[in-house]
Structure formats: structure tokens, C-alpha cells
Amino acid sequence: MRRTNLIFACLMIAPIILWLLTLIAMFFLGYVFNCKVNEGYVQTCKVFGIELGESIYTVGIFAAWGPLIFGPVVLGTGLLWAVVALIATIRKRFR
């Protein structure tokens, strides 16, 4: 059961961490390099002479829509985890 708990914990925490990392990357590039992120279209963003406008646009879209994508995944995983834990408890109790 320990391994199962670890797997479910990773499946619940990993999407949230990934979403938070995209938020941090977007805010960092926006603040430090003065890049503007717009959900409607790609804007230019030069970082050390490299154009990152398309990449930061993709990160911005992912940061904005991430909770709508990962929310059901995290909630479904949590629900499945609760069912598996309940079944394991019932099986252990009736042994």
C-alpha cells in the first residue's frame, strides 16, 4: 500500500508543480527581460539575442489554462486514491 500511496501522491502533486513552474517561468521572463505575455497573440521577446516570443506565449497559455486541464486530472486521481484506500482498509479489517 505504501507504493500505491506514493504513486497517487506523485500523480496528484506533479501536475500542480508543473503548472507552478510555468507560472514562475512566465513571471520571471516578463519581469526580468520585460517580455509581455498576451493570450491573444505572440509578442516579441528577445532574451540574450534569442527570440522567445512563441515559447513564452505557449508557456503563458499553459499557465492560464493549466488549472482547467489539470484540475479534473488531480481531482480524479484524488477520488481514485480515496476509493483504493477505502478498499484496502475494508480488506484489512475483514481479514
SS3 19: helix
| Residue 33 to residues 2, 27, 54, 68, Cα–Cα distance (Å) | 45, 10, 15, 28
- What pLDDT sits at residue 40? 86
DSSP state of 52: -
**Measured distance CA(83)–CA(47) in Å, rounded:** 48
Mean pLDDT to the nearest integer, 69-95: 91
Whether residue 8 has pLDDT greater than 80: yes
- What pLDDT sits at residue 1? 74
The model carries a pTM of 0.78
Mean pLDDT to the nearest integer, 17-23: 92
Q: Where are the domains of the chain?
A: 2-93
- What pLDDT sits at residue 20? 93
- What pLDDT sits at residue 93? 92
* Main-chain phi, psi angles of 51, to 5 degrees: -80, 115
**Tens digits of per-residue pLDDT, 28-79?**
988 998 888 888 899 988 889 999 889 899 988 988 898 998 899 899 999 9
